[in-house]
Structure formats: structure tokens, C-alpha cells
Amino acid sequence: MSTGVDELDRMAASRLSSDGQRYTANRRALVAVLREADAPLTIPQIIERRSTLATSSVYRNLDLLERAQVVQRVVTNDEWVRFELAEDLTGHHHHHLVCNGCGLVLDFELTSRFEQSIDEHLEAVAQEHGFVPHLHRLDLVGLCKDCSPPPHPEAALR
């Protein structure tokens, strides 16, 4: 179903090489961290998980991996840029739940039927504006379980 580890590495290597770039140890490490994560990671989070990585190399390599379409950038309302593996590498087109409280970003998927419906609507809009569609982005912004006030505070006190 989902892409295997070695297959992922092969695909990443192939995309980098068509971009004239090498798949170095640092770049492998970035792909591995992102594969292990279940949500898009900020740069500090990436460095926490692979403390040998130099900050500047992380920035440089994420840019490079983004240009090669191996990873993609996720922006939310908080000050951190996050990164995740490119959707067509993982095979999972997905969207994000974004918590306004703690900044958490969770992935979710919609039915392909509904995705198709979204694309049809957006296609029409794009045409009206002479816009060439590339991808859509649908996020749900709100409060996660931990950040939302409990429904019955008095009950929690008993």
C-alpha cells in the first residue's frame, strides 16, 4: 500500500539525480527523519531528532530536497515552517488539522470521491482566472484535544 523504505530511498535518489544532485548521508538522514515522523516537522524538531546535523546544512538540504520534489513545505499560522515528504512519494494525498493552541499539525485524508469533487470545483475557478492549477491545500484550523477546554469542567473536578 504505502511506499517501502528502500523504495522511498530509490525514488528520492532518482529525483535528486534528475536534478543533478547527490543523495548524501545528510540528505538521507533528512528523508529518514521525515519518514519516521507522523506529522510535518519544524527545523528545530528535525535537528532534535538528528543532533549531528548542522543548522545551515538542514536549511540548504531541505531547499534542495524541495526543489527536487522529495519534500514539501507546510506553512501554518505559527512562525515555523514545517517539512514533510512529498505526497507523491508517500502515495498519500492528505490535508492538515492545525491546532491554534499548540501549533500541532495532524494529517488526515478525505475520500477520493470528495477530493475529486474539490478538484472539479477548483478547476472551474482556475479557468475563470487564467490560472494553471498545481495543487490544492485544504486545512482545518481549530483546537486539538489537548488545547480545547473540556466540555464539562465541573464534571472533571469530581
Partner DNA sequence: ATTTATGCAAATCGTTTGCAAACCT
Partner DNA sequence: AGGTTTGCAAACGATTTGCATAAAT
Q: Residue 73 or residue 92: which is nearer to DNA going by CB? A: 73
> Which is nearest to 56 in space by CA: 6, 15, 64, 153?
64
Residue 147 is classified by DSSP as: T
Q: Among 130, 152, 155, 156, indicate the residue that binds its own copies (CB under 8 A).
A: 130
**32 is a contact residue toward DNA (CB under 7 A):** no
Stretch that binds DNA, among 21-29, 93-101, 118-126, 137-145 (CB under 7 A): 21-29
**110 is a contact residue toward its own copies (CB under 8 A):** yes
Q: Among 73, 91, 102, 127, indicate the residue that binds its own copies (CB under 8 A).
A: 73
From the list its own copies, DNA, none, partner contacted by residue 54 (C-beta under 5 to 8 A by kind) = DNA
Which letter, b or e, does each residue of 40-78 get, where b requires 16 or more Cβ atoms within 10 Å of its Cβ?
Answer: bbbbeebbeeeeebeeeebeebbebbeebbbbbebebee
What's the Cα-to-Cα distance from 45 to each of 75, 80, 105, 117, 156, rounded to whole Å? 15, 10, 13, 35, 33
Measured CA to CA, the distance from residue 18 to residue 14 in angstroms comes to: 6
Stretch that binds DNA, among 7-15, 59-67, 87-95, 124-132 (CB under 7 A): 59-67
Where does this chain bind its own copies (CB under 8 A)?
Answer: 73, 75-77, 97, 99-100, 106, 108, 110-111, 114, 117-118, 121-122, 125-126, 128-145, 148
Q: Give contact residues for DNA (rule: CB under 7 A).
A: 21-22, 24-27, 43, 52-57, 59-61, 63, 79-81
